[in-house]
Amino acid sequence: MSIDTNKVIECYGCGLFIAKQKKQKGKKFKCPRCNTRLLLENNHSFDSLYYAISALLLFILFNSYPLISLDVNNAHLKTTLYDTILILLEQNLFFVALIVFFTIFLAPVLNSLIIIFSFIQMHTNIRFFTNTLLHDSLVFFKHWGFIEVFIISVIVTYIKLVGMSDSTRFDIGFYIMLVYLFCLYMSNIKFEGKNVFGE
């Protein structure tokens, strides 16, 4: 007799095999023999999806607001992330601009998209990419450590601008960016490749 292991769960307390139940709100799933509380699959993995979607929305939001603002010669200047990359290009720092573009624009957006696609593939029959490709690209973007680069580049820009004017201050975009980073970080922490890719 063969058993579909996706439909049973082993009790952590006594080793009894129990048929999985659909998760019901407010109802705890317990072992009928020893009363150990059991966690059902996907119990918290949806958090990752919500964080990924929030991250994408916040990404669009903070890119439409200035990160830093300052007053120079009675003129009020504002700089967005986009401007920062343009400044780097104007200073002929092409390679730096490329790294900033990749780590700040491309990699985080792709990271959130991969998480969203993984959830779509996990819960529907739609297949955009192979699981292997999704898994490999997620590992690739994780290794890039873009979150640190993200914060550092803004602080470097801030320090540069402080030298130009005393009125330099972080603007609304910067604070949205902090919330964005939190969502991006949490979507990766909560993401369980185990459930998605069957590792």
Q: Which is nearer to Zn ion, 36 or 91 (CB)?
A: 36
Q: Which residue bears the tokens 């006594």?
A: 14
Instruction: Please list every residue from 13 through 72 that binds Zn ion, using CB under 5 A.
Output: 13-14, 16, 31, 33-34, 36
CB of 10 to Zn ion, least distance (A): 9
The count of residues interacting with Zn ion (CB under 5 A) is 8
64 in helix, strand or coil? coil
φ and ψ at 178, to 5 degrees? -65, -40
> How far is residue 173's CA from residue 127's CA, in Å, rounded to a whole number?
36
Q: Write the interaction track for Zn ion spanning residues 123-162; mark x where CB under 5 A is met and - where it is not.
A: ----------------------------------------
Q: Which residue bears the tokens 């991250």?
A: 55
CB of 38 to Zn ion, least distance (A): 8
- Is residue 189 within 8 A of residue 181, CB to CB? The reply is no
> How far is residue 31's CA from residue 87's CA, in Å, rounded to a whole number?
61
CB of 32 to Zn ion, least distance (A): 8
φ and ψ at 81, to 5 degrees? -65, -40
Q: Which is nearer to Zn ion, 11 or 70 (CB)?
A: 11
Helix axes 46-63, 107-123, angle to 10 degrees: 150
CB of 186 to Zn ion, least distance (A): 32
Radius of gyration of the chain measured on its C-alpha atoms = 23
> How far is residue 120's CA from residue 105's CA, in Å, rounded to a whole number?
23
CB of 37 to Zn ion, least distance (A): 10
Q: Which residue bears the tokens 């709100």?
A: 25
Q: Which is nearer to Zn ion, 38 or 61 (CB)?
A: 38
| Options 11-19, 70-78, 83-91, 121-129: segment touching Zn ion (CB under 5 A) | 11-19
Q: Which is nearer to Zn ion, 11 or 85 (CB)?
A: 11
Q: Which is nearer to Zn ion, 33 or 194 (CB)?
A: 33
Which residues of this chain interact with Zn ion, rule CB under 5 A? 11, 13-14, 16, 31, 33-34, 36
